[in-house]
C-alpha cells in the first residue's frame, strides 16, 4: 500500500497554552495519520508540557529567541518542514476530524486548497473555550473580487511545499495582511481551489478579538499590500460591516457544516481540573 504523504502543520503560538491544547486535541482526532506538527513558540511562555500531553502526535517545538510576531514565526516554522504538503493553523483555531484527510484528497491537480470556516465566539470556563455563538463564513472563489475583499482563511489551508521555492517565505512587510498577500501571490503562479466544507473553526472573542483590529494601525500595511499587488484604494472598515457590503453578500456560497458545536476539551484542561 502506498504511504500517505506527510503533512507538516505549522502552528505559531504566543502565550496561549490553553488554546494551543485545544488545537492539539483537534489534531489528535484527525482521521489522517501522517502529521508533523511544528509548534513555533514566539518567545512566549513554555509550551513543551502542552505538547507532551499528546505523545501520539509527531510534535516539534521550536523556540524563538525573541518575539518576532506571527509572520516571522511562520517563516521560522518553514525551516523545520519535512512534509510534501504544508498546512497552516493559528494556535487558537480548530480543525474538525476529517479536515486534513479531506484537504489532501481535494488537492488533486491543484497546488493550494482552502476550506470554508465557522467563526465562533466563546467564553472561557475552567480553561475550556465554550462557544456562545457561531456563523458560517463561505464565499465563492472569485479572484477579481478577492482583490477587493479576501475571503481566504489561512487556518486549515493545505498546499504543496514547493510553492515556497517559487514564492519565497511569507512577507513580514505586510504583517496583518500576510495571508491575503500569500493567497494573491499563490493565485498568480499556481492552481488554487476552495473546498466548500466549513471544517475549520475560527475563534474570536467579543470586545476586541482577533477580527476587529484597529484600522489606524492596520492602514500602513494595507497600503503596502495594495501597492505590491496594484489593488487600488482598499477599505479598513470593521470586518463585520464589510460582510454586509452588497458585493460581499452577493458572493455568499453554500457549504457543508459538520460541527456539533461542542467544545474541544484538551488534556491540559483535564489535567488542571484534576489538580484543583
Q: Which residue has the cell 466549513?
A: 198
Residue 274 CA, distance from chain mean position: 31
Alpha-carbon span 98 to 103, nearest angstrom: 9
Contact 164, 145 (CB under 8 A): no
Tell me the per-residue pLDDT of 70-125, one tens digit each, with 9 for 90 and over.
999 999 999 999 999 999 999 999 999 999 999 999 999 999 999 999 999 999 99
Residues 148-173 have a mean pLDDT of 97
- Answer for the pair 128, 166: CB distance below 8 angstroms, yes or no: no
pLDDT averaged over the chain? 94
Whether 208 has a pLDDT exceeding 50, the answer reads no
Residue 155 cell numbers, joined: 487556518
Nearest to 197 by CA among 90, 112, 118, 107: 118
Q: Residue 206 burial by CB count (10 A; 0-12/13-18/19+): exposed, middle or buried?
A: exposed
Cβ(102)–Cβ(187) below 8 Å: no
Q: Parallel, antiparallel, or unpaired: how do β-strands 128-137 and 85-88 relate?
A: unpaired
238 in the Ramachandran plot: left (φ > 0), alpha (ψ -120 to 50) or beta?
beta
pLDDT range class, residue 270, cuts 50, 70, 90: confident
The pTM (predicted TM-score) of the whole model is 0.95
Residue 3 confidence (pLDDT): 87
Rounded CA Rg of the chain: 18
Task: Write down all domains in the chain, each with its CATH number in brackets.
Answer: 7-260 (3.90.550.10)
Which of these, 231, 254, 243, 240, lies nearest to 140 by C-alpha position? 254
Percent of the chain residues past pLDDT 90, beyond the cut: 87
How far apart CA 34 and CA 269 sit, in angstroms, is 26
Q: Which residue has the higher pLDDT, 237 or 42?
A: 42
Residue 209 pLDDT more than 50? no
Amino acid at each position: 500500500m502506498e504511504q500517505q504523504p506527510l503533512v507538516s502543520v505549522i502552528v505559531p503560538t504566543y502565550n496561549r497554552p490553553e488554546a494551543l491544547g485545544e488545537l492539539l486535541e483537534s489534531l489528535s482526532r484527525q482521521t489522517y495519520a501522517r502529521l508533523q506538527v511544528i509548534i513555533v513558540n514566539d518567545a512566549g511562555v513554555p509550551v513543551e508540557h502542552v505538547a507532551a500531553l499528546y505523545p501520539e502526535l509527531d510534535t516539534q517545538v521550536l523556540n524563538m529567541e525573541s518575539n518576532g510576531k506571527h509572520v516571522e514565526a511562520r517563516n521560522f516554522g518553514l525551516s523545520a518542514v519535512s512534509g510534501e504538503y504544508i498546512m497552516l493553523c493559528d494556535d487558537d483555531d480548530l480543525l474538525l476530524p476529517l479536515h486534513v484527510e479531506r484537504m489532501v484528497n481535494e488537492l488533486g491537480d491543484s497546488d493550494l486548497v482552502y476550506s470554508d470556516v465557522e467563526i465562533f465566539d466563546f467564553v472561557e470556563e475552567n480553561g475550556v473555550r465554550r462557544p456562545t455563538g457561531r456563523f458560517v463564513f463561505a464565499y465563492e472563489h472569485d479572484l477579481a473580487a478577492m482583490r477587493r475583499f479576501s475571503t481566504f482563511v489561512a487556518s486549515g489551508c493545505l498546499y504543496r511545499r514547493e510553492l515556497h521555492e517559487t514564492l519565497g517565505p511569507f512577507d513580514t512587510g505586510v504583517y496583518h495582511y500576510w495571508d491575503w498577500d500569500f493567497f494573491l501571490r499563490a493565485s498568480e503562479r499556481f492552481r488554487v481551489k476552495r473546498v466548500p466544507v466549513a471544517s475549520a473553526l475560527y475563534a474570536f472573542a467579543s470586545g476586541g478579538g482577533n477580527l476587529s483590529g484597529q484600522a489606524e494601525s492596520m492602514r500602513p500595511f494595507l497600503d503596502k499590500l495594495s501597492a505590491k499587488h496594484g489593488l487600488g484604494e482598499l477599505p479598513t472598515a470593521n470586518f463585520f460591516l464589510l460582510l454586509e457590503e452588497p458585493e460581499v453578500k452577493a458572493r455568499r456560497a453554500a457549504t457543508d457544516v459538520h460541527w456539533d458545536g461542542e467544545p474541544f476539551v484538551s488534556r491540559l484542561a483535564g489535567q488542571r481540573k484534576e489538580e484543583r
